[in-house]
Amino acid sequence: MLKTSLADARTFLFVPASRPERIAKALASGTDVVIVDLEDAVAPADKDTARGLLTVWLDANPQAAVVVRINGTGTAWMEADLAACRHPGVAGLLLPKAETADAVSHCHRVSGKPVLPIVETGRGMDALAEIAAAPGTTRLVFGKLDLAVDLSLTPDESDREELVFLPYRAMIVLASRRAGLPLPVDGVFTAIGDGEALSYYANRARNHGYGALLLIHPNQVGTVTEAFTPSADEVAWAKAVIAAAEAAGGGAAVVDGRMIDAPVIARAERLLVAAALAS
């Protein structure tokens, strides 16, 4: 059983399927979801072996639940990966390089599991609305690294705002909202040892409409969890807003010297829901 639902999860930690001994360690890291990776983390010659190792591990750990990143459409391993994902220990799957609604619905139909499409190509960005609305789609994921390659983008490592990715991040947030999906999942932060930069990155993602992050190392879990969890000050502010609105009975109200209206009240309500889910 997952620690929390895929819709509410804040942290998704990758583990190579070829190293099943790391799965238990990842589950104990505090992350909301562990993603066992059959794609990028496994060499082509090792795909079948890695899939078998994952199945053996799941059979031996019947109480555990993981998400699996399968190999994508057009690869020689996709159908076998989908068959393996029928295992009751698989709670969902990540579909890399998602580009069509048909690919998402096929994965959902064959595996019987919810799908998190990773949008990381120009074709995928162009088909965002269809992918978001596809049967089986439970949450969108932004794959910035592969998108940069596909679109010949050149990120500036000194640019903390990553301006080159902002239009595409916004498109995924908007598509999620239009389809009624949970807040999307932002891409990985690759500087494993830079906690300060990771905190900035995760908080910026939250401010830009994301609700979670893909992680590549257990030491990222705590920082990212904190970033996506409402702080005590935010919760206190939200409670004050709701109390003032109720006291005003629909009339004008002021909190901390600022007028509050319907959008402010809605934000306060959303913060309190998020805080309750995180507790």
In this predicted structure, what is the pLDDT of residue 123? 98
In this predicted structure, what is the pLDDT of residue 259? 79
pLDDT at 175 over 90: yes
Tokens 């005003």 sit on residue: 248
Q: Give the largest CA-CA distance in the chain.
A: 67
CATH number (domain holding residue 82): 3.20.20.60
Range of the domain at 215: 11-227
Mean pLDDT of the 107-125 span: 98
For the chain, the straight-line distance linking the first and the last C-alpha, in angstroms and rounded, comes to 18
At 155, is the pLDDT very low, low, confident or very high (cuts 50, 70, 90)?
confident
Q: Does 86 share its domain with 44?
A: yes
Mean pLDDT of the 55-81 span: 97
CB within 8 A of 260, min separation 6: which ones?
241, 244, 245, 253, 254
In a domain, 106, yes or no: yes
Handedness of CA 93, 76, 50, 110 (dihedral sign): positive
pLDDT at 35 over 90: yes
In a domain, 5, yes or no: no
Q: Does 143 share its domain with 45?
A: yes
In this predicted structure, what is the pLDDT of residue 194? 92
Burial level of 255, CB count in 10 A (0-12/13-18/19+)?
A: middle
Q: Does 46 share its domain with 70?
A: yes
At 49, is the pLDDT very low, low, confident or very high (cuts 50, 70, 90)?
very high
Q: Does 160 share its domain with 238?
A: no
pLDDT at 275 over 80: no
Q: Does 110 share its domain with 130?
A: yes
Q: Does 198 share its domain with 236?
A: no
Q: Does 150 share its domain with 194?
A: yes
Instruction: Report the alpha-carbon distance of residue 137 to residue 101 in Å, rounded.
Output: 9
Percent of the chain's residues with pLDDT above 90: 76
Q: Does 35 share its domain with 79?
A: yes
Q: Does 119 share its domain with 144?
A: yes
Q: Which of 91-105, 142-156, 243-257 has the lowest mean pLDDT?
A: 243-257
Instruction: Report the alpha-carbon distance of residue 189 to residue 217 in Å, rounded.
Output: 10
pTM greater than the 0.75 cutoff: yes
Q: Encode burial over 196-222: b for 16+ CB neighbours within 10 A, e otherwise.
A: eebbbbbebbbebbbbbbbbebbebbe
Mean pLDDT of the 149-173 span: 90
CB within 8 A of 243, min separation 6: which ones?
none
In this predicted structure, what is the pLDDT of residue 130? 98
In this predicted structure, what is the pLDDT of residue 103? 98
In a domain, 4, yes or no: no
In a domain, 240, yes or no: yes
Question: Can you read off the two tokens belonging to residue 200?
Answer: 């900035």
Q: Does 216 share its domain with 266?
A: no
Q: Does 65 share its domain with 198?
A: yes
In a domain, 163, yes or no: yes
In this predicted structure, what is the pLDDT of residue 227? 96
Tens of pLDDT, residue by residue over 180-209, are: 999 999 999 999 989 999 999 999 999 999
Question: Can you read off the two tokens belonging to residue 91?
Answer: 């709670």
Q: Does 125 share its domain with 165?
A: yes
In a domain, 77, yes or no: yes
At 85, is the pLDDT very low, low, confident or very high (cuts 50, 70, 90)?
very high
In this predicted structure, what is the pLDDT of residue 146? 96
In a domain, 143, yes or no: yes
In a domain, 115, yes or no: yes
At 179, is the pLDDT very low, low, confident or very high (cuts 50, 70, 90)?
very high
3 state SS of 34 = strand
| Number of domains the chain contains | 2
